[in-house]
A and B are shown apart, each in its own frame.
Chain A
Amino acid sequence: MGSNAAEGRQATAASSTPPAIELRGISKAFGPVQANKDISLSVRKGAIHGIVGENGAGKSTLMSILYGFYKADAGEIFINGEQVHIHNSQDAIAAGIGMVFQHFKLVENFTVLENVILGAEEGAMLRPSLAKARELLGRLAEEYELSVDPDALIEDLTVGHQQRVEILKALYRKADILILDEPTGVLTPSEADHLFRILRNLRDEGKTIILITHKLREIMEITDTVSVMRRGEMTATVETASTSPEELAELMVGRKVLLQVEKKPAEPRDVVLEIEDLKVTDENGVERLKGISLQVRAGEILGIAGVSGNGQSELLEVLGGYRTASGSIRLNGRALDLSGRHSDGQSRRAAGIAHVPEDRQREGLIMEFAAWENIAFGYHNDPRYNRNALFMDNAALRADTREKMERFDVRPPIPELAARNFSGGNQQKIVLAREIERNPDLLLVGQPTRGVDIGAIEFIHKRIIELRDQGKAILLVSVELEEILSLSDRIAVMFDGRIMGERLPHETDEKELGLLMAGMQNGEAA
C-alpha cells in the first residue's frame, strides 16, 4: 500500500475552479533538520481538509509558512489560482487566511468585541468599529451557530467559547480560508461536536477549512479530504470517504500500528490509595477540588477522565506532595500529611508513590540536563546514586541510565545527550523508565502520551499495563478519552473539582463520559 495509489484517488477530485489553496514544492529546513521536504498540496474550495501526522512531522511548520511566520526555503503558494507572497501574518490576512491557534491569542480582560476588533480597528475612534463588529457578530451567530455574548470578558468564557471568539476574529478579518491547529484538544466531546457543526456550516457557505489534528476519529468524522505527513514529507492525500483510521495510522507511522491495547482483565487486590473528601483551594482562593473521594486497588488502573482544568492537575499535585489540601489520603492504610509541613515530593517518593507528571518538559525533566542527570531527578538522595554524604556517584548514574535506556528503548541511547534533544516520545520514556523502575506501590500517570508519536504510545501503554499486572496501583489522568477507555479498569470522571461518577469501561461509551465531563448527570446539568 504505497502513496501512489492514494495520490491516484486524489486526482478524481480535480474540478474546473482553481483550488482555494495550492502549495507547490514547499521546502523548509531548520539547520540540519528538514522540516518540510518538497511539499505539494491542493485543497479545493469549500472543503474541510485534514492534515494528520505525528509530532515533528512538519504540520505546524507548513501552516506557519502559510500564515507567514516562517519563510519557505523554496516553493510557491497559490490562493484561488493566484500566486501570493506571504511574508508576515498581515499578508496572510490580506490573502484571506485566518488562523486559530492551539493556544488562544486573546486579551483576557478585554470583552469579546474588543478582542475581535483588536488590530483591525478602523479610524482613531473605537466606537464605529465596535458597532460594526457587534452587527457582524449578531449575523454570524445566526448563520453559523457561532453565538457568544459580545460584551462578556474573555476570562469569564469557557474554553469552547473562547475558541469561537478566535474564529470570529478570523471571520471579522474576512478570512475565506480557516486553519485550525489541534482545535479539540481543550474541548469536551459536546463542545467539539458543536465546533464541528460550526465548521460544517462555514464549509457550506463556501469557506475552506484546514484542520490540523492527531485524532484520527475527528478526521474520519468531519473532513472531506485528508493529507498525511511523515518526517517532513506529504506521504498521501486521499478522499476521507475512501480511507480508514488503520490506513491513516499506517501512513503516519510507516508501519502497522495496533490502535487497540491488548490486556488481560484486572485482578484487583487490597486498597492501596484511599482518598476521602479531598479539598484544594489555590493561591487565588479558588476552590479547585471540592471534596473528592476515591480508591485505587493494587493491580488495577483507575482512569480519571475530564477536560483539562477541572482539578485533575491539582489532584496529581496533592498526591505528588507539592500542593497542600484538606481531607485525607491513605496509602496502604497510612495517612499522608497534606499540610505541606512534613511532606514534599521527596517524602512521597519514600512512601512508595512514583509520579509521571502531566507536563514532562516543565516538571518531569530538566530539559538542559543530560539524560543521565535526569534519571536521578527526584531520587538524587538515593544512596545508590551517591558515593558518600557529599558527592554523587556520576559513574553509577551513567551506568544506570544506559541500562534503563536499553530496557525502555530510548533512542538515541546516549546518556550524555541533553533531554531537550530527544523527541517527545523518548523524553516520556526517560521519565517512565525513572518512575516505573522504582517499583512503586502507586504510580501516578498524567497525560502519558501527550505529544508522543503513535509508535511510542503503544510501548508506553504496554509498560503501564505490565506494571498493573505486577500488582501495582495506577492512577491515570488523561484528557484523551480513547486512552482512558482502552487502559482503565475503572473510570472516574472529573468536572469542576468533583467526581461526577464512576463507570466501568465496557459498560460505558464516549457519549456518556462526554456528558459527565460536561457536568451533566442523567441529562441534567450538575
Chain B
Amino acid sequence: MERMPRWADVFLVPFINLLLAFFVSGLVVLAVGEDPLKAVWIMLKGSLGSTAGLGYTLYYATNYIFTGLAVAVAFHARLFNIGGEGQATIAGVGVALALLAVNWPHWMLALPFAIIGAGAFGAFWASIPAYLQAKRGSHIVITTIMFNFIAAAVMGYLLNGPLKSPKTQNAESLPFPPGTHLPTAHELLAPLGIEFSKSAPLNVSFLLALLCAVLVFLLLWRTRLGYAIRAFGQSESAARYAGISSVKIIMITMLISGALAGMLAINVVMGEQGRLIKEFVEGAGFVGIAVALMGRSHPFGIVLAAILFGMLTQGGFELLWEMPNLSKEMVLVIQALIILFTGALDNMVRAPLERLFLYLNRKKRAA
C-alpha cells in the first residue's frame, strides 16, 4: 500500500523539481535581458561538451560525492552534520602532514597515508561535536556549524604560522613532494588511447569517491553497524529498548561522517593543489547537504546528484564567461534556486504527485 511507485519517488520527483528550478532560473536570466535557452545550452556545453568541461564537472562532483555521503551517513542516524566544511578543512592539514613528512617516491605509497591523514583529521574534527551531543546533549547542528568557523581560524593560524611555506608571501604550505602527484584523467586515459584534456583537474580521487559510495551502501544496508545506525536514526526509544548504545552510535556515525567529508582533501589538496591552501573547500561541505537531500541519502542517488551539482558549478563558471550580463551572484542565485527546489521545497511537488498517483490507482481499481 505504498503511496507512490518507487520510480516516481526516486526519479520523477527530483526531475520535476529540477524543471521547476530551471523555469524560475530562466525567469531570472530573462530579467537581466539574456536568453534563458541559450544560458541552458552554455551550461550544458560548458559542463559536458568537452573533455575539459567534463573533467571539471567530475572533479567537482568528486567533492560533492564525499560531502554528500558524509551528510547522508549522519542523516541515517538522524544527525544533521552541517560541519562537512570544517571537517574537510582540518582533513587538509592531515593530508599535508602525511605528504610533507616523507619524501614519497610514488603516489601509490603516499595515497594510503594521505587517506589515513584525511580520514583521521576529519573524523577528529567531527568527534568533538559528536561527543558533546552524545554525552552533553549539545545540539549537533549548532556545534558543527561553530566548528566550521573554528576550523577556518585554525587553518588561518597554521598557514600563517607553523605550516607556512618560508618560500612565498602567501598563506600556504610548502609544495608536496613530486612523488605524491595523483594521476589525472589525462594521464590515466592516455595509455588506453583516449584523449582527455590536460587542464582538467579530474584525478583518481573520483574512483575513490565511487568506492566510498559502494562502501557506504554496504555499511548501511548490509552490516550490523549500519542496521544499528538506521535503527537508532528511526527511533531512539526503540534503540534503547534493543540495547543499542546511543553514545556509541553517535560517536561512530560522526567519525565515519567526518572521515568521509575529509576525503575531499584528497581530491583538492593532494589531487589538484599539491600544497595546502586556505579555503580550499569552497562551500562543498554545504553543497553536500543539498546533494544528500536530493540523493535521498542513498549512495546511488548521491552520485547522480553530485554529478548534477558538478555540472551546475562548472556550467556556472562557463556562464559567467559567456554572458557578461550575468554576475557571479546571479549564477549563485541559479544554483541556490536548484538547491531550494530540490531540497527545501521537495514536498511542494511530492504531495500533489502522491495525490495524483492515488487518484490514478483508484481509477484503475474502479475500472
Contact = CB atoms under 8 A, between A and B. Distances in A.
Contacts of B245: 344
Nearest to A346: B243
Interface string B196-225: 000000000000000000000010001110
B224 A320 contact: no
Most buried by A among B235, B242, B365: B242
Contacts of B230: 366, 369
A251 to B, nearest CB: 27
A32 interface: yes
Contacts of A320: 241
Interface in B332-367: 358, 361-362, 365
Contacts of A362: 235, 237-238
Which 9 pairs between the two chains have the least Cβ-Cβ distance? A345-B243, A346-B243, A378-B242, A363-B241, A344-B243, A31-B358, A366-B234, A362-B237, A322-B240
Interface stretch (A39-47, A182-190, A216-224, A384-392): A384-392
A421 B240 contact: no
A366 B231 contact: yes
B101 interface: no
Nearest to B3: A31
Interface of A: 31-32, 320-322, 344-349, 355, 357, 359, 362-369, 373, 376-378, 380-381, 386, 390-392, 394, 421
A347 B242 CA distance: 10
Interface of B: 1, 3, 218, 222-224, 227-228, 230-231, 234-235, 237-238, 240-245, 358, 361-362, 365
A322 B242 CA distance: 9
Contact of A32 (B1, B228, B235, B242): B1
Nearest to A323: B240
Contacts of A390: 223-224
A421 B222 contact: no
B231 A32 contact: no
Contacts of A349: 243
A358 to B, nearest CB: 10
A433 to B, nearest CB: 16
Contacts of A322: 240-241, 243
B229 to A, nearest CB: 11
Given A368-B234, A369-B234, A391-B222, A378 B228 contact: no
B224 A381 contact: yes
Contacts of B231: 366, 369, 377
A368 B227 CA distance: 12
Nearest to A33: B1
Contacts of B3: 31
Given A31-B358, A380-B227, A345 B242 contact: yes
A363 B240 contact: yes
Contacts, number: 76
Contacts of B234: 366-369
Nearest to B221: A394
A365 B224 contact: no
5 contacts: A363-B238, A366-B234, A369-B234, A378-B242, A392-B227
A246 B228 CA distance: 46
Contacts of A31: 3, 358, 362
B192 to A, nearest CB: 34
Given A345-B242, A392-B227, A394-B222, 15 more contacts: A32-B1, A322-B240, A344-B245, A345-B240, A345-B244, A346-B242, A347-B243, A359-B237, A363-B241, A365-B238, A366-B238, A369-B231, A378-B242, A380-B224, A380-B227
A321 B239 CA distance: 12
Contacts of A357: 241
Contacts of B237: 359, 362-363
A392 B223 contact: yes
A366 B235 contact: yes
Given A362-B235, A369-B234, A391 B223 contact: yes
Nearest to B358: A31
Contacts of B241: 320, 322, 345, 355, 357, 363-364, 378
Contacts of B223: 390-392
A377 B238 contact: yes
B358 A378 contact: no
Most buried by B among A355, A366, A394: A366
Nearest to A420: B1
A21 to B, nearest CB: 30
Given A32-B358, A362-B235, A373 B227 contact: yes
Contacts of A394: 222
Contacts of B235: 362-363, 366-367
A421 B1 contact: yes
Nearest to B235: A366
A349 B244 CA distance: 12
Contact of B222 (A32, A365, A366, A392): A392
B145 to A, nearest CB: 28
Contacts of A378: 241-243
Nearest to A377: B242
A322 B244 CA distance: 10
Contacts of A366: 230-231, 234-235, 238
